[in-house]
Structure 1
């Protein structure tokens, strides 16, 4: 054999010895396990000895040395062990299933509680919204009713005022309970010129009234006329009331037919309580008041 091939052969032989040694150790371990298992099963079956031959270096045994009863016991032990494992696994599965079911039930209860709480909150909100809408509707209805009532009251007031104005006389005599003491254009020593109006004599304090509606353009003390009030009417005619004891109107006041402008008195140039009444068309020279009053519907 060439010298160069010898190291390779030595390495190959060494490798074979190592592999054989490892196989021998593996077989010994397996035989030990088999002997321990057989002994345990035999003890369970009531035996005290197991006939198992082993050899550290010999081949694996071909027989366990068990009697038929021991073999049956071994088989039964194996079946029991398998059934026990199955039961344990079943118990574990049942325990896990129960745990999972309990967790699922708890989660379902929690979810149901949340849904119930949300439903209650939603119901409360709906009730609050409905109540707020009802309150707003009542307020709006009350406001509308109040506005309608105010409008109706204003309309009724306007109608009443119109009816009153319509029913009110368009012209009246300047006072009541009187008698005429002097007429228009009458001459006498009591006046510097002929008389320019009608004198309505009445007790002191008797009301003096505007004969028609108009605007007060004078309310002042006017010399021989004493306290004098003048009223301009819609057609421009001015009526004058003199010798009064008091004023009941001021310049700029609006008066209606029959409105009190003063009271019978004796101010100015007079010999007794009366009102000197004049009619001045357009505010100019006075005319006879008697026909003018008759033309307007009253007879002094």
Structure 2
């Protein structure tokens, strides 16, 4: 059985890794590198995560050397380290280094809540600005407006939306079915009236045809178009995934409870939807202050 260090070496050799990814991989090699993959337990991973949290943030020096800053790591950063280890196990399973039924030691590690920064989700007025610009700039593909509306109104991930076929949507019932999500489970998303209206405007509609395909019939690579649109909308740097966060925030602000948000967005853990409830509480506090604190 290969060691974790061996798998990391193969993983890095097979792809281009950015500095952050290499840093996370270096951490796991330092913590568990000599151990065989199947010998690493959830307790080992948990102990490493505790060590990571106590170590805190690092500041890069020359080359790949680093020094501790004394500042704590954000919950989202710690979660990325856990996900990185999970990715290594997925890679090992794909290479058949471990059985397909093997349970990863990261499977039951509880991730930390990740409150959404105000700059990490798109608010309704920002979505409207993006749509207004998209209608003008997207002259060739002509589908970005519909894609934005569906992403914001359903909370579906980009990959799920890009792989939707016309057979997956029922414009009469107002549903979109994703047979397999990131969590490995199917989800049936409810379509708003506006989403249905946007879909009806699109050409095609052959059952096996991808709704958001490019000229080749494969999922459209629209990053350049998206970047152009958000820059013109005065929202440079915002990414498409923030539409999903915007959906969760809008649901929470409207008073939708956490269990319903979990069901609507396909979350499997409370921590995933808790980020939106945090902002719901803050927004409600702002409303109460605005309405009642003036009474004296």
**Relative contact order higher in (CA < 8 Å, ≥ 6 apart):** 2
> TM-score scaled to structure 2, two decimals?
0.19
* Structure with larger Rg: 1
Give the structure with the higher percent strand: 1
> TM-score scaled to structure 1, two decimals?
0.19
